[in-house]
Amino acid sequence: MPRPAARARVGVAPNKGADRPKEAQGAAAPAQCPAASRPRGRPRSVTCHQAILRATMELLTEFCYAEVTMEGIAARAGVSKQTLYNWWPSKARLAMEAYAATAATRIPEPDTGSTEEDLRRLLCFTCQVLGRGEPGLGETLAGLIAAAQSDSELGNELRETLIAVRRRIATRILQRGMERGEVDPTLDLPLALDLLYGPIWYRLLLRNAPLNKTFAHEIVAHLMPRLRNPER
């Protein structure tokens, strides 16, 4: 994925031996957030919190995960690095919270009263967001998944903060379907979730075919006969 020109390299990991201009060393505007010396455990400033998550997503969209630094995020958000570490123990935790927060606003949980329609809408939202419908989100997630293969901390955060949340949403949809008698009550839920999301992750990583509404409908159409309650 092409990377932006030098202007955008503010706050990313520098190349070894490279001289960096003063403005590229993390200098930021005066912070509009509480001082970095604030005690742990006090409520976060909502404005400051959102600014940090927004800055994190901007940098993750512009650069690969390994290039993004806590210093860079602090500079982009206009806060001190200590403020970040007061609220997040690591870059991995912050990166995944930022991505999960963005995904939550783009991929809502449907509840139409129909399992098939809920699954169709959930996968449509997911495919549209990851399939270039939202600039950079699909590429960013693919990059995070790739980085997680050699970064165990990031891998754990990815599974616990993002993947687990998406799976819980689909689980609730299927459980509501069981309560209505639409879905087989003996269904192997973990396997069903793998079959539901697996094709999306495959196309996201390999880019062998488009992630779009048509693909989402095809997944649900193939899966629903195996999910339905056989007694109905």
Q: Rounded to the nearest 10 degrees, how much is the dihedral formed by the CA atoms of 214, 200, 164, 67?
A: -120
Please, what sign has the CA dihedral across residues 153, 156, 161, 163? positive
89-126 pLDDT, tens digit each? 999 999 999 998 988 888 899 999 999 999 999 999 99
Same domain, 115 and 210: yes
The distance of Cα 172 from the centroid of its chain, to the nearest Å, equals 20
Same domain, 69 and 169: no
Greater confidence, 1 or 76? Answer: 76
Q: What is the pTM of this model?
A: 0.76
User: Over 90: is that where the pLDDT of 16 sits?
Assistant: no
Same domain, 137 and 172: yes
36-56 pLDDT, tens digit each? 334 444 556 899 999 999 999
pLDDT value of position 9? 46
Q: Rounded to the nearest 10 degrees, how much is the dihedral formed by the CA atoms of 212, 121, 224, 210?
A: 10
191-221 pLDDT, tens digit each? 999 999 999 999 999 999 999 999 999 999 9
User: Over 60: is that where the pLDDT of 13 sits?
Assistant: no
The domain in which residue 204 lies consists of 100-227
With CA atoms as reference, report the closest residue to 106 among 145, 65, 135, 147: 135
pLDDT value of position 106? 85
Same domain, 104 and 197: yes
Same domain, 223 and 131: yes
Same domain, 109 and 40: no
| Domain termination site, one of 88, 114, 129 | 88
| Domain termination site, one of 34, 58, 88 | 88
Same domain, 177 and 153: yes
How many domains does the chain divide into? 2
Report the residue count for the chain: 232
